Amino acid sequence: MKIGVSKEIKKHEYRVGITPQCVKAYRNNEHEVFIEKGAGIGSGYEDEEYKNNGAIITEDKESIFDSCDMIIKVKEPVEEEYELLHDGQIIYTYFHLAADKKLALTLMEKGVTAVAYETIELPDRSLPCLIPMSEIAGRLAVQEGAKYLEKEYGGRGILLGGVPGVRRGTIGIIGGGVVGTNACKMAVGIGANVMVLDINAKQLAYLDDIFGSSITTLYATDANLEYTLKESDLLIGAVLLHGEATPKLIKQSHLKLMKPGAVIVDVSVDQGGFAETSRPTTHDDPIYIVDGIVHYCVSNMPGAVARSSTIALTSVTLQYGLQIANKGIEEAIKQNDAIAKGINTFHGKCVHPGVAKSCNIPFVPYTT
């Protein structure tokens, strides 16, 4: 296959679809790889590194979209890229089509095979290409929260780890899944007091086993939530109900329970956010203050650490990309159910029930 990688043009997106190491893997399987000039720069990969691993560096995006069988990206095509889409092309990237009907219809109209990272699903219902980004966002949540607790940004001026003779800060984590567990690791690491709340007792037991006495686990009742709001210097939103909007657990009236200058990092903002007062922000303007509480609500947190994120993402996407390239899309779908679940549009039809339902377009089960 001819594999193409274009430079991401979405605002503040510095990740890239494949690393030079991935190029080597595709080349070892006898595929050709075309990389748009400068595509890896944001993640610290020079054209030379791609070239040394067997890629061909191409000046323009158009020829990549024109001639390659599969385009590997990170973010969904943005409007300027729509005219580059065409029949028979495979695009392998994050799409989030459930929230983007216009793009779903465009992909169908153009006859693109859209393989979405976020819907590739294993038999245990886990989403292998989403997990690494949640791991990164969870770890970053503590780092960012610690920064915005600084007085300069409107925070309480609290050092989360404390110092001898000074009390440690408290971090409340709401939702103990992938984001929550990774936030927990960092929170324990910097020596803060940590409380984790979840509605899943099994998950709380798991966290209790892993972290022992260094954290407190609490069932997410209203009373425990209010207690956590009062105690926390940093509150992290890490709640998810699969396929649904995030429940608004924190009402605006709850903010007055919190300490002035406390920070909310709402990681779940990409699904609507766990606080009534959350609204998506960007890396160039990440925070705002409501009722004295600093809100950090960046919806693409992993973009801040583009190199780590690119390595984490491509480590999981490579295996499915290789299977598609080696077997062809139809055989890969037949042989691997996880890949089949990743297909969102195929031959002009929407073949993913969740996307069809959310976009209110007809669902047509996949057939070859």
Q: Is 322 left (phi over 0), alpha (psi -120 to 50) or beta?
A: alpha
H-helix or E-strand spanning residue 58: strand 56-58
What is the chain's alpha carbon radius of gyration, rounded to the nearest angstrom?
22
State which of residues 220, 287, 293, 332 lies at the interface with ligand NAD (CB under 6 A).
220
Q: Is there binding between residue 309 and ligand NAD (CB under 6 A)?
A: no
State which of residues 119, 170, 193, 271 lies at the interface with ligand NAD (CB under 6 A).
271
User: Could you give the residue numbers annotated as active site?
Assistant: 96, 270
Q: Is there binding between residue 134 and ligand NAD (CB under 6 A)?
A: yes
Query: Which of 316, 342, 331 has its CA nearest to residue 113?
Result: 342
Classify burial at 111, counting beta carbons within 10 Å of its beta carbon; exposed 0-12, middle 13-18, buried 19 or more: middle
State which of residues 21, 203, 281, 326 lies at the interface with ligand NAD (CB under 6 A).
203
CB 360 to ligand NAD: min, Å = 22
Q: Is there binding between residue 38 and ligand NAD (CB under 6 A)?
A: no
CB 186 to ligand NAD: min, Å = 14
Q: 165 CB contacts (<8 Å, ≥6 apart)?
A: none
Helix 20-28 and helix 306-327, axial crossing angle in degrees, nearest 10? 10
Interface size with ligand NAD, residues (CB under 6 A):
32
The residue number with the shortest CB distance to ligand NAD is 177
Q: Is there binding between residue 174 and ligand NAD (CB under 6 A)?
A: yes
Q: Is there binding between residue 250 and ligand NAD (CB under 6 A)?
A: no
CA distance 96 to 73: 13
CB 171 to ligand NAD: min, Å = 15
DSSP 3-state of 260? coil
Q: Is there binding between residue 313 and ligand NAD (CB under 6 A)?
A: no
Q: Is there binding between residue 137 and ligand NAD (CB under 6 A)?
A: yes
State which of residues 269, 275, 316, 340 lies at the interface with ligand NAD (CB under 6 A).
269
Residue 262 corresponds to which tokens in the numbers above?
């406390």
Query: Which of 260, 272, 185 has its CA nearest to residue 229?
Result: 260
Q: Is there binding between residue 325 and ligand NAD (CB under 6 A)?
A: no
Mark the segment that binds ligand NAD (CB under 6 A) among 21-29, 54-62, 234-242, 306-314.
234-242
CB 255 to ligand NAD: min, Å = 18
CA distance 19 to 38: 12
For residue 101, how many other CB atoms are within 10 A of its CB? 14
CB 134 to ligand NAD: min, Å = 3
> Locate tokens 């695009």: which residue?
91
Please say which residue, 52 or 252, places its beta carbon nearer to ligand NAD.
252
Mark the segment that binds ligand NAD (CB under 6 A) among 65-73, 98-106, 241-249, 251-259.
241-249
CA distance 334 to 323: 11
State which of residues 36, 69, 76, 270 lies at the interface with ligand NAD (CB under 6 A).
270
Mark the segment that binds ligand NAD (CB under 6 A) among 10-18, 42-50, 129-137, 333-341.
129-137
H-helix or E-strand spanning residue 239: none
DSSP string, 148-169: HTSGGGTS----TT-BTTBPPP
CB 168 to ligand NAD: min, Å = 24
Q: 105 CB contacts (<8 Å, ≥6 apart)?
A: 359, 361
Q: Give the residues lining the site for ligand NAD (CB under 6 A).
A: 133-134, 137, 174-180, 197-200, 203, 220, 238-241, 246-247, 249, 267-271, 299-302
